[in-house]
Structure formats: structure tokens, C-alpha cells
Structure 1
Amino acid sequence: MNKTKIVCTIGPSSSSPQVLADMIRSGMNVARVNFSHGTSDEHRKMIRSIRAVATRLGRTVAILVDLPGPKIRIGRLRLEPTILKRGETITLTTDPASSNLTAIPVDYPDLPSLVTEGTTIYLNDGFLQVKVVRTSEQEVDAKVVIGGPLLSHKGLNLPGVALSIAAVTPEDLAHVDIGLDEGVDTFTISFLERPEDIRILREYAQKRGIKIHIVAKIERAGAVREIDAILAEADAIMIARGDLGVQIPIEDVPGVQKQCILKANRLGVPVITATQMLESMTENILPTRAEVTDVANAILDGSDAVMLSAETATGRYPVETVRMMAKIARSIEAQRTMLKGRSQLEEVLLLTGINRRELTVDDVVSLNVIQAMHALSPRYILTPTRSGRAPRRISRFKPDCWILSFCRDQKVAEFLAFSYGVVPFFVKTDEASWHDRIFDLISDAGLAKTGDLVILTEGSEPDLAGATNSLRIIKFP
């Protein structure tokens, strides 16, 4: 099917076992559970349901717990939606017991102290804008500059205003405990601006004796400035363009997207492009032409995965949206070589004068795999792995053929669901050499026939993670 992985946000529209099954069959690789909404019991039930459906279908589906972080949100509105009319004055209140029935509740007590007359407040990813007129101890009066419908729990942004809250909140840590209890080991950090936030979350899980994967959401100007340090700490990144397009000038978002993707590709760090990719399919059976082009360009930029948010969480056509995303991916993947020629990353590593002393053994092996693929057009690239590092290093070049990755750890296999073109297999074996077991699996699945050419990566110390240092070219027996 599609080599580009598809991340789907699970919500009321997609929570039933039947819809989940249809989405998995249509191309969903990662199920995102957004802990900004719902109760702890609902989250636990959802995680168990996703896992049960994936197991029944025999598919590897990763579960991504998206931690809310320090996002300022609108509270529960009395009228849903509340229509903000241009020119009118509204009141934002941080008082949960406010007697003002028309006031809009906000879940951040410090809001009145952070804004002054003339401050622009952005609501719902910047689609709504209000300008502060006056403040009091618990209220902010503001004039509507750009109006429209406002729903409960939508975000509130204050670009350029330093918030007095950490990226990893106590509530986030409580959410992590829920995820860990349910066997989930992949979490996002929202609104981080420094690599230390990643270490805080990783060390918290380590105290419970659990190794986790952390996806850093790039959605603040500070994260863009610190992207190199964040990439050195994170296991993956997500370019969350909704809040990012409020935090930085919206016209700068495409360039930032391309720069972050290239940096992540170079390091072999999976990168997810997110937000409003097929937004119109929340209500319509077909996307706009501009949305299709956006998805295609994100894939050509080098995204490992593309994400659906409201489209699958609350939209009318969750299954159809996944199918459309998969169709776009398959179409543009087939044209990648024609449209781009040699991989942009290959050019960076091989042709543009990069300091050769920066190349590692992993770089050399993965580059040689790609060069052999160009020359020989093998059926598959086979990568036995303990850590997942070898397939990720090859995946970053976005090769034409599939990477079949064989893992002894179920969690390693699940995290490879984020990497472009990688099909992970969980293999229960203690054998020093995996060759016979791998070939048996491929044969039993009907994936290859005698005489097919394959590239096999190997390590001189098979029991050591990260030891891949050679490749073999083999005819399938």
C-alpha cells in the first residue's frame, strides 16, 4: 500500500471497533489518542479497543498518546458554538464560578496579568482574533477583530508572551502513568521549547523502569530556534502547523516545515507533518485540490508520516479520509524518483561537500544500501534489528522498495510504524542468525518467489543493538 505512514486521531467518529478496523484496513498505521479531551477511563478504554482490533486483524498499529502540555484552552461554553461577531466586545473570564452568563471561560488563571490593552489574542489556531480593551483581576474584555464560531476547549494563543508554565505539567505526568499502565510507550510533548523538557519526561518513565519513545511537537518559535538540540534528544518530531502558524508568521511555515524535515531526515529521526491536511473532509466527501497538493508536497519534502486530526476524530467521513490520504500517498510515491531524481538527502550526504568525518558506519551502510538499490532494483531491503536504528537510517532516504524489518521486541516493531516504507515484523526467536526465520516468514506470507533479489543488512555482533555494519545481496532461495 502506501509507504508514507498515516497517523489518525481517534475520537467520537472513529472510536467504534468497526470504524477502527476499516481505518486500519484503509491505511492507518498510528492511532493518536489526544489526552486533551476525554476522561482517564475513556482513554484506557480507547487504548484497549485499538489494540484489540489491531491484534484481531494481525496488524502492527502504534498507539501515540498526545499529552496536552501547557496549552491555554477555552473552557466549556454555555452555548455551543458561540458566535463571535466582528466589532462586538466579549469577556474572557478565568473565574470558574463567574456569574456572567455571557463570559467565555478560559482555563489559565494568569491570563489577565499577561495581557494589556492592545494585546491581540488568537483563538482556534488563529482563525478568530480579539484585541484586549481592558483587564481586571479575573476578566479580560476584548473587541472581536476576526469573528466566527467558537467551540469549547479550543486553543488560545499569545504569540511573543512568555508563559509561566513548563512544557511537561503535573497533569501530563499523570497522563503518562495512564499510558504506561496500558502498555503504551510513545508520547508527544506539546509546546516544548528546549531539549531539557524531553529529558524530564524520559527520566520520569525511567524511574518506573520503562523506556519510552518521545515525539517532540514543533509548534512554538522557541522550538524552531532549538530544533537541532531537540532533534538530538527526541525519538521523532511532529510539525504541528496549527499553533506554529500563530506563533510564527504564517507565511514562514512552509519554509520551516521543509527545514525541519530535512534536518530530521539527515539524522534518521521520523518526522510527522500535521494539522489541517485534509480539513475539508471533516464535512465533505472529497478534499480540496490545495489540500491534496499540500499532502503530496509534505511527502515529497521527506515526511515519514502525515497526520489526520479532526478529519478522523470528529469528521463525517473518517474511513473515506484515510483512504484518500493513502491514495494521495501512493500516487506521489510512485512519482518521487521522476519528480526529484536523486534523493535530496543523498545529495546532502554525498554531493554537497559535507565533512566526511561526520559520516558514521551507519551512514556508510545505509548509503550503500541505497546505491545498491538504485543499481539492482531488489525486491526488498531486509533489516533484522534490535533497536530499529538500521531500518530508520535506510528509511530516511525514502527508497523505492519496501524495507522489511524483523524485530525481537514488540515495542521496537510498533515504533517502526512511524518510519517511511518500513513494514515491521515481530519475530519470536533467540537464534543468533535470523536468515532462515526471515526467509520462512517472507515465503509463508507470499511476499517473494525463488530468484527474487533482496538486500540484507547484518551486524558482526547480532545480539548488540546498533551493530549493523554490512550488507549482503542475496537471491531468494
Structure 2
Amino acid sequence: MELPAHKTKIVCTIGPASRSEAVLEQLMLMGMNVARLNFAHGTLEGHRQDIRRIRAVAEKLQRHCMIMSDLPGPKIRIGRLLEEPLLLEREGKVVLTAKDVAGSADRIPVEYKQLPASVQQGDLIYLNDGFIQLEVERVSGEDVFCRTIIGGPLLSHKGLNLPGVKIFADAVSAADLAFVDFALQEGVDAFGVSFVETAEDILKVKRFALEKGQSVYVVAKIERAEAIDNFAEILSAADAIMIARGDMGVQIPLQDVPAVQKKLIHQANLLGRPVITATQMLVSMTENIRPTRAEVSDVANAVLDGTDAVMLSEETAIGRYPVETVAMIGKIALSAEREKQAIQALADLPAHFRNAVNEGKVDVEDVVTLNAVESADALNVRFILTRTQSRAAPCLISRFRPNCWILTHGGDKQTNNFLALSYGVHPVSLDGTTDGLVDQTIRQLLTDGVIEKDQSVIWVEDELPGDSLETVSVKIIKT
């Protein structure tokens, strides 16, 4: 038995670029473990043929390859455009309409009849995963008149998002259940449920399958703010989760997505639920033979976070290099797996120095600065104060990444400018203070409004210039 080189699983979306038996065979040989069929695109007959080709190739190679049918759910999309790409200019005017018309520069059809009832003046509408942003100016009948805030090229059937707006549609519709019925007859292994909001959305699919005499595995796609709020109950009902970062990055602030990803993976790991991390993992390889460095880091960080699988979408569905993309994502996963334990150990700097203390291999300044940080965390103080003529004390405190700020003074201009580089360090200028006068320093910080009365702070003092540290005191001070 020959085992794969890497343990992280690879999900590939099957489309025009990858549906031939020849390409499917190469994808499996390169590491594809799951074939994803996106039922938002294509025909039932096309999906039937894809399923049969995937099964035939897996049988030929004697491989296990899961087939996951991704249900469309209430994905709002624009309709067909007469000419594409349609370029929306910044500060231009455009009308989104619920009418069934061919799209033009002036009027774009939307496949969501309730759009006029869902939005009002001032609401933001995002197109194409948020790359295009519109602001609603007024609503009239079936038309929504908008101003383009951020423009760009738009293709037919691209997605439309309404963050913070109630969508008048169920996560699992009658059309989705019809897809489930079809996929059950074709022997699909699992179902991805899009735009999940509650556990009931998962259970609806499972109950439907049971009525058909089958039990199914359901993957909950986490892409709405409601799903994040209800994640515990969804996680209990689902067999696996997919962190679908495309729509998630529009539904919640984009800058929050990495932290949410890490939290969701951790919670799923605790319950032993498999996790798929998805969306734009190596999207530049849709057109290019090599990914960007940022994409490589994104894939590696997902592995380090604890994801079970990484997913490719357009990269393998319509990309120019589907096989090369799978090979690349496998290489990245393997490298991250090899270094995972070492990286995780390196990240816990306090534990490293505690172990060094036990082994008698630690310097005085390490003990003192670690003690200052742990005291600050224990007391939940907002500031560690350092008075230094060098950069040593604040830098040694900063390496532990405390939750509080490190305020430092006493250095010359060059030292203070350099300290602006260090995490959490904020150089301050205090007039009239002299060496060792803690009370005078505290008084000026109170006067300047930096700290408040009856607030605890940690004081660390470094008296000697240069790079060597001689810490004479670590004090907990109540102002």
C-alpha cells in the first residue's frame, strides 16, 4: 500500500477544464480526494456524466474519491448581459431590475424578484464577491436605482450580496431538494448546503434523504453572518463544514475573515468534524502557471490552522492549469505539515522561556520581562511602562506579544524612531522627568490623559545605555 505524501486533503471543483477522464485521472494521481460538482452551473445530464466519469477513473486507479454535490441555495445572481464584460464606471448610474430583461450598461437584471422589497435608500449592494460596490439611491416598482461606488468589469450570472439585509428565501429550496433527489439516484456521497443559517437547514436535507430511504453526509457551508452566530448548533447537526470565504468576506468585514476562519476550524477540530477551507486559495493559477507568494502563505496557514482539506474552485473548473494547481497545493500542504509542530512550538514564546527556567538556561532579563508580561495579563492592565535609554527593555517585552500597550520613554530620537517598528511599543515624550522618578512619570501620564486614575500599570526600568539590560525594578503601580 502506497500512502500519499501529504495528509491534507484536496477538493477539486469539476468543470470544463477538468471533466475529461484524462484530466480526472491526472488530478487523482496528483492528490485529488474530493470531486465537487457545483449544481449552480451546468445541467443534470452534464452532472450525471461527470459522476460516471469520476467513478470510472477512481475504479481504474483503485482510489477512494468522494463526490460532493454543492447545492446552489439562495445565491442571488445577476442575469444575462448582452455584451460582456460590462464595465461599471465609478460614480456612474445603474439600475438593477427584477424584470426579465437582457442586461445592458443602463439596466442589469437580477435573479431575485424580492430585491426591491429587500433594499432601501442608502443600502450597499456588492457584485462579484464585493469587487464592485453599489449604493441604493431609490427604489421604484421593480427597479433599484444605484450609484456605483467601486466599479469594474462584470460578467453574466455573477453573484450579488446584500450584507445585513434579510433575504426572503430559504437556504434549502424545493429546487435544491430536487437536486438532492437526482444526486441520491446517482450515488453521490455528500451534499454541500449553501448559505446555511441554522441547524434546521442541515436537518431539512437529512430528513428529505431519509424519506427517500437513504442517509446522507451533509457539509454546512459557512458564509453568512447568521451561520457564524449559530455555528455551535450547525456544527452539531452537520457532518463537516466548509469555510466559504468568498461570500463570507462580503457578509462580515473582510478584515475579520482570517480570525473567524481560525476560530471555526478550532471549534470543528474539538468535535472532530472535518473542515474544508475554500475560496481563492490559488486563484491566480486560473491563468498563471505559478501562484502568488500570498496565496502560498494562505494555503499553508490553513493547514497550520488545522483544516482537513483545501478547496480549489475556478482553478480546476475553468483554469488553464488544473493539474499543475493540484500538484502545487499538494506541495504547499506537505511543506506546512512537515514544519507544523516546530512552528506551533515556536509560536508559544512564554512556554519556551518557562522551559528554559526549569532547565536553568535563562537570563535574568528573560525572567524579568516574562514576569512583567504575565503580571500584566493576570491583572488585565492596559499599559506596561518602561524607562529606557536603549531599545532593550521594550523590545524584550514586545517579543511576548502582550495584550497591553508598551509605553516607553527616556530614549533619544533615533532610539524612539527605531522602537516605532516593534509590536505594541509606543514611544512617548515626557517633559521634566528625571531618572528614577516613577511618581513624576505617572503624574505626567495622568495629566496627559494617557492613563486614568485608579488604574494599575506595570513599571519596568532599564537604567544602563546600550544594548545590555540591567533591570533594577519591576513594579505594579496603582495610579
Same fold (TM over 0.5): yes
User: 1: distance between equivalents of 2:335 and 2:6?
Assistant: 9
**Equivalences for residues 32-431 of structure 1 within 5 A:** 32-97=36-101, 102-341=106-345
What letter corresponds to residue 217 of structure 2 in structure 1?
A: H
1:72 aligns to what SS in structure 2?
A: coil
Q: 1:271 and 1:343, CA in 2 relative to 1: closer, same or farther beyond 3 A?
A: farther
SS at match of 1:287: coil
SS at match of 2:68: strand
1:97–1:129 Cα change, 3 Å: closer
Please name the residue that 1:10 is paired with: 14
Runs of 4+ in 1 over 3 A off after TM superposition: 97-102, 341-344
Deviation of the 1:148 alpha carbon:
1.0
Q: CA–CA distance in 1 between the matches of 2:20 and 2:164?
A: 41
**CA positional deviation for 1:98:** 6.4
Structure 1: runs of 5+ lacking an equivalent:
348-477
Deviations 1:310-330 (A, max 9, x none): 111111111110000000011
CA contact (8 A) 2:286 2:315 kept: yes
- Specify the SS of the correspondent of 1:104: strand
- Alpha-carbon distance in 1 for matches of 2:119, 2:315: 33
- The alignment partner of 2:35 has SS state of strand
CA drift at 1:250: 0.8
Return the alpha-carbon distance in structure 2 between the equivalents of residues 229 and 192 of structure 1: 11
Query: Does the aligned pair in 2 maintain the 1:89–1:142 contact within 8 Å?
Result: yes
Q: Distance in 2 between the 1:21 and 1:78 partners?
A: 37
How many residue pairs get aligned? The number is 345
Secondary structure (helix, strand or coil) at the match of 1:178 reads helix
Deviation at 1:74, TM superposition (A): 1.2
Distance between the aligned counterparts of 1:254 and 1:214, measured in 2? 24
Q: Tell me, in whole angstroms, the C-alpha distance in 1 between the residues paired with 2:101 and 2:45.
A: 26
Measure how far apart 1:108 and its partner are: 0.2
Deviation, structure 1 residue 56: 1.2
Greater Rg by CA: 2
Deviation at 1:134, TM superposition (A): 2.1
> How far, CA to CA, are the matches of 1:99 and 1:332 in structure 2?
46
Contact 2:80–2:102 (8 Å) recurs in 1: no
Q: 2: distance between equivalents of 1:283 and 1:102?
A: 31
SS at match of 1:91: strand
- Between the aligned residues of both structures, percent identity stands at 58
CA distance in 2, matches of 1:49, 1:263: 36
CA contact (8 A) 2:202 2:238 kept: yes
Are 1:92 and 1:139, in contact at CA under 8 Å, matched by a contact in 2?
A: yes
Change (3 A) 1:60 1:120: same
Offset of 1:97 from its aligned partner?
Answer: 4.2
Instruction: Give 1:338 shift.
Output: 1.3
Tell me the CA shift for residue 205 of structure 1: 0.2
Quote the offset at 1:28 in angstroms.
0.6
Q: Is the 8 A contact 2:68 2:190 kept in 1?
A: yes
Alpha-carbon distance change, 256 to 46 in structure 1, aligned in 2, over 3 angstroms: same
Q: Tell whether the 8 Å contact from 2:72 to 2:194 is kept in structure 1 after alignment.
A: yes
Deviation for aligned residue 1:297:
0.4
Letter in 1 for 2:123: T
Distance in 1, matches of 2:234 and 2:311, equals 21
Give the corresponding residue for 2:467: none
Give a deviation string over 1:338-379, Cα, whole Å, max 9, x none. Answer: 1124999xx9xxxxxxxxxxxxxxxxxxxxxxxxxxxxxxxx
Q: Which structure would you say has the larger RCO, counting Cα contacts within 8 Å and 6 or more residues apart?
A: 1
Post-superposition offset of 1:102: 4.4
Relative distance call for 1:118 and 1:285 in structure 2 (3 A) is: same
Q: Which runs of 5+ in 2 are unaligned?
A: 352-479
- Alignment partners' CA distance in 2, 1:105 and 1:313: 26
Residue of structure 2 in register with 1:410 after alignment? none
Q: Deviations over 1:182-241 (max 9, x none)?
A: 001300111011001111110000001101000000000110011111111000000000
Q: Match of 1:87, SS?
A: coil
Output the amino acid matched with 1:11: G
Quick one: distance in 2 between partners of 1:279 and 1:5?
18
Contact 1:185 1:211 in 2 (8 A): no
Q: CA-to-partner distance for each residue in 1:8-60, whole Å, 9 max, x for gaps?
A: 11111111111111111111100000000011111111111111111111111
Q: d(CA) in 2 for partners of 1:247 and 1:109? A: 20
Shift in CA distance, 312/138, structure 1 to aligned 2, threshold 3 Å: same
